[in-house]
Amino acid sequence: MARLEIGQIIAVLKEKLPEAVSEEVLDGVDPVIVVKAEQWAAVAELCRDDSRLGFDLLSCITGVDYPEREEGAEIEVIYNLDSTANLHELTVKVKLPRSDPRVASVEGTWATADWHERETYDLVGVIFEGHHNLVRILCADDWVGHPLRKDYEPPDSFHGIKNVIY
């Protein structure tokens, strides 16, 4: 058990799942790996279970909406993984088509994903397949739309409460 550099982490991932990592962005502020959506569940399991990786803590799930990408409108779901034993971290991205953003749920891998995925569904509108209770968490149950989509228009009123913009 030791702290691994990003290159070593990618090597471990590629060793077990050679096809999973589609892209490595190592020149940014944080090194990021992009994982194919259909492989994400397997990668997650590997990240948690492989003792060299040992990513036992899922810190954060972020959904980002990119409606005007050159390669087509996309939604990125970003997972920040952390290892409490090995003290290294990893940022994993999954790129989903904006028209039908679907990715496997990882709540079986990290229980905390339950609420994080609900939040991402609520605010960005990503469908996490296999989630046992994918309902809104922050907004009201009958809220319409996903507020953090870039083309979101706030409603004029909600149950008689007017949307007043000062």
Partner 1 sequence: MTEAKIRTEEMLLNMGPQHPSTHGVFRVVVRTDGELILESQSHIGYLHRCFEKCAEGNNYLQVVPYTDRMDYLCAMMNNWGYAASIEKLTGIEVPERAEYIRVIVAELNRVASHLLAFGTYGLDIGAITPFLYAFRDRERILKIFEKLCGQRLNYSYVRIGGVTFDMTDEILSDIEAFCDYFDPKIIDEYDNLLSYNGIFISRTANVGVIPADLAISYGVTGPSLRGSGVPRDLRRDAPYGIYDRLEFDVPVGSGEMGQVGDCWDRYMVRMREMRQSIRLVRQAIKDIPDGPFCDKKAFRGVKPKAGETYKKVEGARGEVGFYVVSDGTNIPYRVKARAPSFCNISILDKLTSMSDVMLADLVAIIGSLDIVLGEVDR
Q: Which of 109, 107, 1 is nearest to 54 (CA)?
A: 1
Q: Is 137 in the site for partner 1 (CB under 8 A)?
A: yes
The DSSP code sequence of 81-98 is EE-TTT--EEEEEEEEET
Measure the CA–CA gap between 59 and 2, rounded to whole angstroms.
20
Question: Quick one: 14 or 136, whose CB is closer to partner 1?
Answer: 136
Contact 105, 121 (CB under 8 A): no
**Residue from 42, 59, 127, 158 that binds partner 1 (CB under 8 A)?**
59
Q: Which of residues 91-130 bind partner 1 (CB under 8 A)?
A: 91, 110-112, 114-116, 119, 123
- Near partner 1 by CB under 8 A, which window of 6-14, 38-46, 51-59, 98-106? 51-59
Please report how close the Cβ of residue 160 comes to partner 1 at its closest, in angstroms: 18
Question: Quick one: 41 or 123, whose CB is closer to partner 1?
Answer: 123
Q: Is 78 in the site for partner 1 (CB under 8 A)?
A: yes
Contact 47, 37 (CB under 8 A): no
Give pairs for 24-33: CB < 8 Å, separation 24+. 30/91, 31/6, 31/91, 32/78, 32/91, 32/92, 32/93, 33/90, 33/91, 33/92, 33/93
Q: Is 45 in the site for partner 1 (CB under 8 A)?
A: no
Cβ partners under 8 Å of residue 155, min gap 6: 144, 145, 163
Q: Is 26 in the site for partner 1 (CB under 8 A)?
A: no
**Residue from 5, 19, 23, 30 that binds partner 1 (CB under 8 A)?**
30
Q: Is 16 in the site for partner 1 (CB under 8 A)?
A: no
Binding site for partner 1 (CB under 8 A): 28-30, 32, 56-60, 62, 64-65, 78, 80, 84, 87, 89, 91, 110-112, 114-116, 119, 123, 136-140, 147-148
